[in-house]
Chains A and B, each alone.
Chain A
Amino acid sequence: MKKITTNKQTVIESVAKMVADKNAVRSFLKGKASIESLKEKGIKLANPL
């Protein structure tokens, strides 16, 4: 089995981004931010259904 070594800072940054992305999308859904602003942040919305 491969052992995955992860930098703690990478984990913190990734988790922090996850939360920041959510807050940005909440603003978008409320009409307070544009879809372009999400794209600038690298946030990709999808229809996975």
Chain B
Amino acid sequence: MPIPYNYYFNEDSQFFYFSTKNVIEYRIAFIQDETFSAVSGFEINNVFQIVIEKVTDEIERFDAKVSSTIQAIITAFFINSQNAMIYVCDDKDKKGIKRFNTFNRWYKNSGLKTAIIKKDNIITCFSNDQNFIIYSSLFISS
């Protein structure tokens, strides 16, 4: 695995960030997720949704250090084995399955499969005469 880029935490704005050799900036945020608490009626802590965003508009050529940096952040996240992580892709632009498969591919190749379990859930919602698909994955320590 390539050596990750150095990443930093912005205390004021509460997100992680790093820049690549091509001066492309990525930002990663964790949202305290209360979905399980809302659905179950029980208080379930330590569940976070991860949001990964390339904030520089320029198209970047493949850079393996990007995924290794994100992997380093996720590995650090799971040092606390009580933490659970959710990753969601919506399908409004019909590219949800593509992003979902990309994240799946990253997980399979990450070497984290023995330490972190992934449970996928593809949810079809019908609401207000509309249906939409949400691709979701829950990650927990094994």
Contact = CB atoms under 8 A, between A and B. Distances in A.
A2 to B, nearest CB: 9
B49 A10 contact: no
B95 to A, nearest CB: 14
A25 B55 contact: no
Interface string B34-52: 0100111110001011010
B139 interface: no
Contacts of A16: 125, 127
Please report whether the interface of chain B is mostly helix, strand, loop or mixed according to DSSP: strand
Interface string A4-48: 101000111111111101110110111100010000000111111
A4 to B, nearest CB: 5
A48 B30 contact: yes
B33 interface: yes
Contacts of B90: 19, 22-23
Nearest to B42: A4
B107 interface: no
Interface in B21-35: 27, 29-33, 35
Contact of A22 (B14, B16, B88): B88
A35 B73 contact: no
Interface of B: 9, 13-16, 27, 29-33, 35, 38-42, 46, 48-49, 51, 53, 55, 73, 76-77, 79-80, 83, 86, 88, 90, 123, 125-127, 134, 136
